[in-house]
Amino acid sequence: MNFDRKLVLADGTVFLGNRLGLGDEVIREVVFQTAKAGYQDVLMDPDNYNQVVVMPHSMVNSDGINPNDPDASQGASALIVDKYCASLDRFLKDKNISGLCDVDTGALINKIRADGVMYGIIVDVEVSDEQALVRLTSTPYVTNHVKQVSPKKPYQVSAENKKFRVALIAFTAKKGIINELTVRGCEVIVLPYNTSVEEIKAFEPDGVMLSSGPGDPLDLPELLPVISALQKKYPLFGICLGHQLFAIANGAKTSQMKFGHRGEDIQVKDIGMGKILTTFQNHGYHVDADSLAGTDLEITQYAVDDGSIEGLKHKKYPAFTVQYHPEAHTDTRDSNYLFDRFVEMLGL
């Protein structure tokens, strides 16, 4: 087969492919997603902002595109697949997403699993590997992804039979979280990530949610005193990036995982219930278990396969968090009950 594009990883490894979607040059972190379905949600998930996502299965998009499905307007920068159906190429072009097809995705995923996530560059094959590496290493990496995808100003989402008002600090404004709250009678005030404590108090919320989001939680040190103050005044529920920031605000530490958890069938053990949950996850950082000593945080859930922390609660305040996505549109709704738990806390 003749190839017209290629991916060059930071260590010099090259994977050949062909153009898919836009033909733009892309320099981003390369990660893989193990989900067998939901590629459209993966592509438009703002938690994948500024990433190149590799899909594992041999054929992508055999079931077409749902124009009403995307959860947000910003997501992955590029997609890498083996084979695809034609509507995927049109969808990527419509969403300004580049990509590669005809790639040995199995070999690429094995590479990431063995050596960890790394940056890569997608270029035309005419660009030499040496030139590609120079471009890759000389381009500054983007930090504080949240600043790019968080809403720029507050807005309100009403609920029928309103019972409570929730302030959602939106590191990304994902519809799934908002929907789960509004169907439970919660009016939602969606707030930019850098909203102050005083501004949040002015909305007179009954509780606070910390949403998921992209990037390294250490890029957001200004959020730590805000979270510390809010947890003392309001019931609090955090998801993914919100979970990590909550942990740091309470004295714990986070670190980057070798290749992260990105998939729809990751098993989590709930310690209190003694139950295994099937969860959707999409993160490259986690809370370090050893850093919890001396904090007021308690582990409530952990990943079955590697023992990493999946849930925390505060010992003094009505605040809890999870590393995964209970709002995700997946076949299993094992963790959806967490929104019920949060709403119950609002009425106490």
Question: What CA–CA distance (Å, rounded) separates 267 from 276?
Answer: 6
Indicate the SS3 state at residue 41.
Answer: helix
Question: Catalytic pick from 145, 243, 314, 325?
Answer: 325
Question: What CA–CA distance (Å, rounded) separates 200 from 223?
Answer: 13
The verdict on whether 327 is a catalytic residue reads: yes
- 39 φ, ψ (degrees, to nearest 5): -60, -30
The verdict on whether 240 is a catalytic residue reads: yes
Strand order in the sheet with 297-303: 155-157, 186-191, 164-169, 207-210, 236-239, 319-322, 309-314, 297-303, 254-270, 275-287
How many CA atoms, within 13 angstroms, populate the side-chain half-sphere of residue 244?
27
The verdict on whether 283 is a catalytic residue reads: no
Beta partners for residue 281, in sequence order: 263
C-alpha closest to that of 164 among 136, 147, 141, 186: 186
Question: Catalytic pick from 240, 243, 261, 283?
Answer: 240
User: Which residues are the active-site residues?
Assistant: 240, 325, 327
